[in-house]
């Protein structure tokens, strides 16, 4: 059986409890040692890791600013060789010290990622290569995803997701007729890596958000080309339905909480915009739906109801006393709080 990874805090709690059981004679010392040996403490961010990460950042920035400040005095061949030498040098050093100094090795690879990204922009400038800026971020992402896989590093993959956000959203500003098709290759690859990494919480959130962003951009790109009059309403409606689906779709236990919360957030945001598109029946029906979710223990739905109240508070500002709006909103929230407290006393569960 492979040892389970837990945090230092969880390990200390288990050790405290096992010491208690040993003292009471429930388990022997050998059994306590054996059970504690079934767990590995995860490597948390500590002073050394933070120090090395900042050092990697400063190293990468230092190299780049030196090259940039002396750029005009260097020949093209020297410039190119300097970039390649820095890139190979830090990554080679990282590989060489990996077994003996793993944290130092990782910081050198971080510096390599920064040098690689900046090198892309400097080479474009040096050879007057004219490409859209978002394509440069795509090249950067291609390099980082391989390094992230090699290092099994969640933070590198988070940085890759950040680069891809710039890539797909940057396409809106550089060419409205193109769609960033490369994301359709990247997303499945990122989900495969997510599975290999056992679904870390933050990485799952960012990759899901990237997928939702991609679908939204796809709809905004192609729905207007179909010639519908109310293309914006159609896009919002599809995303609203997608949010409902995500909120209830059966997924792995580790993905479930994050995916369901993102679904609630998506249908909540799109519903607020749709209240401007449809007559009063839609907000009323949606309000009833949110009440149903709250009865099921959804805390996210309370936040959405607050946003809905605020949206109609602004709308009713001219003809409804604002004090009355606050009173209504306050009574509703106190009522929800009373309901949840009562449910908790009865043993009911809250979600999200």
234 — pLDDT class (breaks 50, 70, 90): very high
Quick one: pLDDT at residue 325?
64
Give the number of other CB atoms < 10 A from CB of residue 113: 25
Contact present, 204 and 248 (Cβ < 8 Å): no
pLDDT of residue 313 exceeding 70, the answer is no
pLDDT of residue 130 exceeding 70, the answer is yes
Residue with the bigger pLDDT between 271 and 344: it is 271
Please give the sequence-ordered ranges of beta strands (E in DSSP) within the chain, or none if there are none: 4-6, 39-41
Does the predicted TM-score (pTM) go above 0.85? no
Tell me the average pLDDT across 92-101.
79
Residue with the bigger pLDDT between 234 and 342: it is 234
Residue with the bigger pLDDT between 56 and 348: it is 56
What is d(CA 196, CA 198) in angstroms, rounded to the nearest whole number?
Answer: 5
Mean pLDDT, the chain, whole residue set: 79
Share of the chain above pLDDT 90, in %: 11
Tell me the average pLDDT across 325-342.
70
What is d(CA 211, CA 251) in angstroms, rounded to the nearest whole number?
Answer: 15
The region of weakest confidence among 87-101, 168-182, 211-225 is 168-182
Residue with the bigger pLDDT between 156 and 47: it is 156
186 — pLDDT class (breaks 50, 70, 90): confident
Residue with the bigger pLDDT between 159 and 311: it is 159
Tell me the average pLDDT across 214-241.
87
Q: How many helices (H) and strands (E) does the chain have?
A: 14, 2
Q: Residue 289 belongs to what H/E stretch?
A: helix 281-295
């Amino acid at each position: 059986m492979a040892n389970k990874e837990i945090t230092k805090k969880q390990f200390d709690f288990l050790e405290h409890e096992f010491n208690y059981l040993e003292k009471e004679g429930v388990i022997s010392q050998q059994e306590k040692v054996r059970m504690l040996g079934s767990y590995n403490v995860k490597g948390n961010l500590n002073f050394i890791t933070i120090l090395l990460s900042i050092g990697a950042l400063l190293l990468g920035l230092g190299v780049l600013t030196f090259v940039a400040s002396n750029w005009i005095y260097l020949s093209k061949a020297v410039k190119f060789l300097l970039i390649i030498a820095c890139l190979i040098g830090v990554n080679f050093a990282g590989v060489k010290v990996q077994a003996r100094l793993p944290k130092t090795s990782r910081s050198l690879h971080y510096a390599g990622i920064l040098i690689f990204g900046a090198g892309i922009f400097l080479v474009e400038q040096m050879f007057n290569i004219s490409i859209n800026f978002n394509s440069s971020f795509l090249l950067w992402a291609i390099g980082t995803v391989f390094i992230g896989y090699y290092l099994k590093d969640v933070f590198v993959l988070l940085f890759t997701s950040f680069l891809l956000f710039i890539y797909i959203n940057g396409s809106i500003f550089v060419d409205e007729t193109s769609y960033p098709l490369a994301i359709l290759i990247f997303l499945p690859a990122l989900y495969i890596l997510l599975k290999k990494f056992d679904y870390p919480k933050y990485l799952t959130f960012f990759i899901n958000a990237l997928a939702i962003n991609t679908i939204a951009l796809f709809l905004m790109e192609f729905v207007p080309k179909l010639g519908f009059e109310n293309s914006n309403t159609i896009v919002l409606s599809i995303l609203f339905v997608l949010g409902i689906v995500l909120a209830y779709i059966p997924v792995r236990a580790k993905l479930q909480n994050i995916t369901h919360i993102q679904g609630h957030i998506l249908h909540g945001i799109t519903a607020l915009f749709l209240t401007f598109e449809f007559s009063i029946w839609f907000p009323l029906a949606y309000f009833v739906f949110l009440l149903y979710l709250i009865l099921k223990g959804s805390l996210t739905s309370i936040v959405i109801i607050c946003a809905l109240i605020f949206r109609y508070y602004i709308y009713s500002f001219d003809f409804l006393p604002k004090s009355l709006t606050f009173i209504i909103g306050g009574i509703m929230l106190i009522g929800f709080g009373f309901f949840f407290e009562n449910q908790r006393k009865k043993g009911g569960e809250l979600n999200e």
